[in-house]
């Protein structure tokens, strides 16, 4: 997929890897549209990056179906649709499940799992009509392996992975030239995962964003970052009994204790 002169929508584009991807895409000659819930950060990013090319931003709470629909309409009126969609926005609470209230559960599922589907549905018909487009969904390695204090987050990412790859297969079955890429990164060193401690190296945001952009450019189907995560995890889950896998993931790799000191992004 070429980026030059194509319109790219990034959700959660005002911070973290979303902001980095916006810069990289502008450097590739793309027209960038960012959606973010934080108006001040969105304004700051546009001011910072506008010298690199065409970038516009919209303040959107993607847990609101109405805001998604209304903002998608504005984007279509301005750009006539989009060529590439990057569903990047996400949230995490980081508590044991019994500590979640109903609002936290629904908000996490709405932002991480439901919103990518609703946003995609707003733009997919135009992609189908022109038989061209690319949808990139940023999931998580948390969608591969269960983890304490990530129950709802993991559920949302498992859902996202299942929907994303099913959509890929549908486009293939329908013989449509619409590529779907699913990205499964490990913890990334952004404010979202502040406080996480891990034996496995935490990912650098710049490097991760660059790998995602390259995955889109090369029309990759599914990319785990680091690359060995998917095959290694699935193989270990397939051959090891539950208790042995839990021991290996928890005691050897230390995955089950990674969230013990989690604080998350400061408000």
User: pLDDT per residue over 149-195, tens digit each?
Assistant: 999 999 999 999 999 999 999 999 999 999 999 999 999 999 899 99
In a domain, 75, yes or no: yes
In a domain, 2, yes or no: no
In a domain, 83, yes or no: yes
In a domain, 172, yes or no: yes
Number of structural domains, the chain? 1
Tokens 């973290």 correspond to 16
Phi and psi torsions of 14, nearest 5°? -100, 0
Q: Which is nearest to 28 in space by CA: 46, 48, 55?
A: 55
In a domain, 264, yes or no: no
pTM, rounded to two decimals: 0.96
In a domain, 219, yes or no: yes
Alpha carbons 192 and 92: distance in angstroms, whole number: 7
Domain extent at residue 22: 7-257
State the average pLDDT for the chain. Answer: 96
Among 58, 96, 153, 187, the one annotated catalytic: 153
CATH number at residue 100: 3.40.50.720
Token pair of 232 as six digits? 């290694």
Collapsed DSSP state (helix, strand, coil) of residue 196: coil
In a domain, 267, yes or no: no
pLDDT tens, residue by residue, 196-223: 999 999 999 999 999 999 999 999 999 9
Active-site residue flag, 186:
no
Rg (CA), the chain: 18
> How many residues make up the chain in this entry?
267
Q: What angle do CA 133, 168, 227 make, to 5 degrees?
A: 100
In a domain, 15, yes or no: yes
């Amino acid at each position: 997929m070429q980026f030059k002169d194509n319109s790219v929508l990034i959700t959660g584009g005002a911070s973290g890897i979303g902001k980095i991807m916006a810069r990289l895409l502008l450097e590739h000659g793309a027209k960038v549209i960012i959606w973010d819930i934080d108006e001040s950060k969105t304004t700051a990013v546009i001011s910072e990056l506008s010298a690199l090319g065409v970038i516009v931003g919209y303040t959107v709470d993607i847990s609101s179906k109405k805001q998604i629909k209304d903002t998608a309409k504005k984007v279509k009126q301005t750009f006539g649709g989009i060529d590439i969609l990057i569903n990047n926005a996400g949230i995490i609470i980081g508590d044991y499940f019994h500590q979640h209230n109903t609002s936290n559960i629904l908000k996490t599922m709405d932002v991480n799992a439901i919103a990518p589907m609703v946003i995609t549905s707003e733009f997919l018909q135009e992609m189908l009509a022109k038989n061209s487009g690319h949808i990139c969904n940023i999931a998580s390695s948390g969608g591969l392996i269960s983890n304490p204090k990530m129950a709802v987050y993991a559920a949302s990412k498992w859902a996202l992975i299942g929907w994303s790859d099913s959509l890929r297969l549908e486009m293939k079955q329908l013989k449509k030239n619409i590529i779907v890429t699913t990205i499964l990164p490990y913890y990334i060193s952004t404010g979202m995962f502040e406080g996480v401690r891990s034996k496995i190296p935490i990912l650098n945001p710049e490097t991760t964003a660059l790998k995602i952009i390259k995955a889109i450019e090369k029309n990759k189907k599914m990319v785990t970052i680091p690359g060995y995560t998917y095959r290694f995890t699935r193989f270990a889950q397939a051959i090891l009994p539950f208790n042995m896998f839990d021991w290996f993931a928890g005691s050897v790799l230390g995955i089950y204790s990674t969230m013990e000191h989690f604080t998350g992004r400061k408000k």
